[in-house]
A and B are shown apart, each in its own frame.
Chain A
Amino acid sequence: MTLNTELIWTVVSFVLTLCIFSYLFGDNPLFRFATGLLIGVSAGYFAVIIIYQVLLPRLVVPLLQGSFPALIPLFLSGLLLTKLSPRLAKLGNLPMAYLVGVGAAIAIGGSLLGTLFTQVEGAINIFAPVASAGMSQKWILILEGGFLLLGTIAALVYFNFGGKEDKGNSVQRSPMVRFFSAIGQLFIAITLGAVFAGVMTSTITALIERSNFLLIAIKTFFGIG
């Protein structure tokens, strides 16, 4: 077995994986060391990425090439750094306002056009294939579309918190709303169950991948296979 960088990184990965698996016995220094190392390395790596892939190509290089518009982000970045000082923190409000305002505008616009409108349109188009389907398929499509439409409306009704105050000074929703909200609660529970199943699938897949790595590493260390 030759000592090369790949083997070194394999050993490091093997040891760190075992440190993470040590959480089986509760919180311990090995686990904390591995998590701390992960956080530190990630932060350092992120700083390097920012310098070499953001500051250099998008700020320093344009400035060296005489691009004066690059002075604008430089100025705003300088103002943003004043947030570190309590006395000069007000100067950083301008770039912060710019970032928050632009970010909010983009997020709201994207949510409206990319999610709200399109999802409403998708709920409407559930019954679109019915017109072109045959008689045998038509009822199936109608049932399928009706089921999806019922789930969508019922889930929305569940989150409707409108009601009237009765004689007992307690607020109750109308019986119709309570009926649909119960159906919506059922759909929401199914959705959360599916998400939980997906989490189980993801974690088990990750466990298999790490277990496979440990097995390969052990085979590599001992020269098996």
Chain B
Amino acid sequence: MNDANAKRCWYCQADLTRQDAPAENDSQDWLNNLRDNSPAPQGDDQPEEPANSSESPNEEVPAWLARIRTREQSERAASEDALSASSEELSSEIPDWLNEFNPDQEKEKPNEILPASASAQPENEDDDWLKKLESWQSEPTSSPEKTSTDVTVGSREKPAEKNPIEDEAVTPPDSALIKDSAPEWLQAFVQEPKSTPAAQQGNLSVQQPSTSAFLPAERTPKNEEDSLLRDSEPGQISPTAESIESSELDTALAPSQPGEENETWLSSYKKIHPDKDIKEQVIPAPVDQDQTKAPFNENSLMDWMKPIDPVTNPSQKEPVPQLEPAALPAWLQALSLKHNGKASAPSHSSSDFSDFGPLAGIEGTLPGEELNQFYKRPQTFSGLLKTTESQQVRSKLLKNIADQTHWEDENLEEKPHSHIWIFRLIVTVLMLAAVFIPLLFTQISSIAPSLYPDEVVQTFNTVNALSGGKPVLIAADFDGSLFGELNWSYQPLLAHLMERNIPIAFLSTNSEGTTLLNQSASTLIKQYPAYASSDKWMNLGYLAGGSIGLQGLAQNIQTTMPLNSALQSAWLSKPFDTVKRISDFGALIVITENADTGKYWIEQVKPSLGTTPMLVVISAQSAPLLQPYYASGQISGYLSGLNSAVAYEALTKTPQNATAHLSSFQITMVLAIMLVLIGGIVSLIFYHPQPGKKKRVNS
């Protein structure tokens, strides 16, 4: 938006102070701005002054726009200074039609109207230079009819009255003065022709066959400038300054069409009426599409900006390829009412009423039944698994291997065995009898092992070799499911440690381990009262994090387990104050029923133990999976199940629960083995699976 004090519109250059300024000046102001290279008007009453004030950077405009305006002001001021010295000479020597762009000149002769006799002579002169110009043209390509319609803004109608400028006498300017004081575009025109000898003969040599570009049908001041600039280009027209008289220069600068056609380009100035709103006269009213013209005169544009005229430029008569119309997707075109022949305007025909569905009877609904044909099924992609050839080969191999193994048919209908509970009851009674009879009748002796497993002996030797001052760390990583077995398994080992008065610290990676260990050790603590205090028996509690926690324990035990279960510092009191690292323990004993848990301890903690031995008490069901770690020397020994506990008690010569229940264990185990054998034999004899039903069908 323009500034409130601005007198000229920054965008359209329209004078916003039309009522205060003289009408002639108003008409000249906006015309002057149409000329880019015209000299800036001078004088105190110039309309540029209020325009400059409106271009002040103080205006609320963006910074970049303010900089552009400031630069333009400085350029205008510089051009004004350069032209101020020669403005008076130019005003008297250059043609009057050029003087019209000089506000000072206009002020001296406002609204000057010459008599008709005075305007006859210039027409004669125009005839002279027009004849010369016609001689330049190789062929008459420009038609007056066509160019008469190409007028400037607001010049579509022929003016009713003449502009005084077109009637005033044209005084040919001196070329030397023009050379010295003319604007740059005129200086270029004067200097360039010197190099062309053809122009010295007084003729303008036309080297290009098409002169229509050089001589547009209608000349405007702006068009004149462009034409002259084109003339100065080498290779087209090479006039010489010496051969061009001042009259010829005026002739060259004069409009190409005398008379009425010559007045056409000037008629645009006549249409500006000072009494009317200048915006309405300048800004064209919206017209129909076929009558819409460019905002600038076509002749005032540069060549490269002009539309190609197939008449004036035969080499470009070929039709210009038109841009293809925007192509909508097929489905969108199908949905278009226009595409379907439906009028865009709402109609009240019966076809606009849907006669079915939930919108039946509602006006303006889309004809849904007609759209069904345009609906397409969305593209679906195959969900088949793409496999490579090698994968298919391996798949076939795996299938062959699986087919070699006989499987019972999972789909075989399970027959209701009403007598199965009888067998279950019989087995239960037998097992309980095998368990309770040795418990009730203690005189039943068991068979004590005479040979001890190597891992049990190594465990015993390791514990025997422990130093009394070094504490032992016990990891109670077991839950309540196999607590009965593990309790009898680790009790002799725990009793051995207490007998040797070795301090014990224990922790667990599950929530129940330490509690169960603490509860089961309560009977032992009664036998060894020294372990009732925290000096010998410390519960470190729960170690969170699984294998990550084990890694942290191996790296820095004091940071990982800083407090005991009573939330007291664990490593400040004796004898645990000597423990800085996990390798400072005398031994690490892991009690677990899971082989994976024992493996995690071996993998994560054993490398940090160094020479500190690692022992494992594990359930009998996981012992075979732990055997390789003992064979490789990663663990020093392990106890597995009741048999190992009995052997350890025999080694320590302190029979406890394991030895007391050995007879029951042995009888029950014998019974279980017999049941397994009998069941296998019976199954082998009486169970005949049908090949077609009970075996997996091999392909």
**Given known A-B contacts A102-B548, A115-B603, A200-B669, A171 and B393 have beta carbons under 8 A apart:** yes
Cβ contact of B604, chosen from A46, A110, A200, A209, cutoff 8 A:
A110
- Does A147 lie at the interface of the complex (its beta carbon under 8 Å from any beta carbon of B)? no
Which residues A80-114 have CB closer than 8 A to chain B? 99, 102-103, 106-107, 110-111, 113-114
How far in angstroms is the closest Cβ of chain B from A59? 11
- Does A133 lie at the interface of the complex (its beta carbon under 8 Å from any beta carbon of B)? no
Judge whether B632 and A110 touch: CB under 8 Å: no
Q: How far is the CA of A13 from the CA of B440 in the complex (A)?
A: 21
**Chain-A contact segment, one of B80-88, B194-202, B395-403, B574-582:** B395-403
B contacts with A, residue count (CB < 8 A): 69
How far in angstroms is the closest Cβ of chain A from B568? 10
Q: Collect the chain B residues with CB atoms within 8 Å of residue A204's CB.
A: 665, 668-669, 672
Which B residues form the contact surface with A (CB < 8 A)? 393-394, 396-398, 400-401, 421, 424-425, 428, 431-432, 435-436, 439-440, 480-482, 484-485, 487-488, 511-512, 515, 541-542, 544, 546-548, 551, 562-563, 565, 567, 593, 599-600, 602-604, 606-607, 619-625, 628-629, 631-634, 640-643, 661, 664-665, 668-669, 672
**Given known A-B contacts A103-B548, A161-B398, A211-B432, A198 and B665 have beta carbons under 8 A apart:** no
Residue on A nearest B669 in the bound complex, by CB: A204
- Does A121 lie at the interface of the complex (its beta carbon under 8 Å from any beta carbon of B)? yes
Judge whether B485 and A172 touch: CB under 8 Å: no
For the complex of A and B, the 4 pairs showing the least CB-CB separation, nearest first, are A114-B603, A122-B632, A209-B484, A110-B603
Residue on B nearest A163 in the bound complex, by CB: B397
Judge whether B424 and A24 touch: CB under 8 Å: yes
**Given known A-B contacts A54-B544, A201-B669, A170 and B396 have beta carbons under 8 A apart:** yes
- Does A208 lie at the interface of the complex (its beta carbon under 8 Å from any beta carbon of B)? yes
Q: Collect the chain B residues with CB atoms within 8 Å of residue A200's CB.
A: 669, 672
Q: Mark A186-213, 1 if CB is under 8 A from B, else 0.
A: 0000010011011111101111111110
Q: Collect the chain B residues with CB atoms within 8 Å of residue A215's CB.
A: 436, 439-440
Q: How far is the CA of A53 from the CA of B439 in the complex (A)?
A: 41
Judge whether B547 and A110 touch: CB under 8 Å: yes
Q: Collect the chain B residues with CB atoms within 8 Å of residue A171's CB.
A: 393-394, 396-397, 400
Q: How far is the CA of A57 from the CA of B543 in the complex (A)?
A: 12
Q: How far is the CA of A151 from the CA of B588 in the complex (A)?
A: 31
Judge whether A205 and B488 touch: CB under 8 Å: yes
Judge whether A211 and B436 touch: CB under 8 Å: yes
Which A residues form the contact surface with B (CB < 8 A)? 24-26, 38, 42, 45-46, 49-50, 52-54, 56-58, 61, 99, 102-103, 106-107, 110-111, 113-115, 118-119, 121-122, 125, 161-165, 169-173, 191, 194-195, 197-202, 204-212, 215
Can you report 7 residue pairs joining A to B where beta carbons are below 8 Å apart?
A50-B511, A53-B542, A172-B400, A198-B641, A206-B482, A209-B487, A209-B661
Judge whether A205 and B485 touch: CB under 8 Å: yes
Judge whether B397 and A106 touch: CB under 8 Å: no
How far in angstroms is the closest Cβ of chain A from B485? 4
Q: How far is the CA of A110 from the CA of B37 in the complex (A)?
A: 85
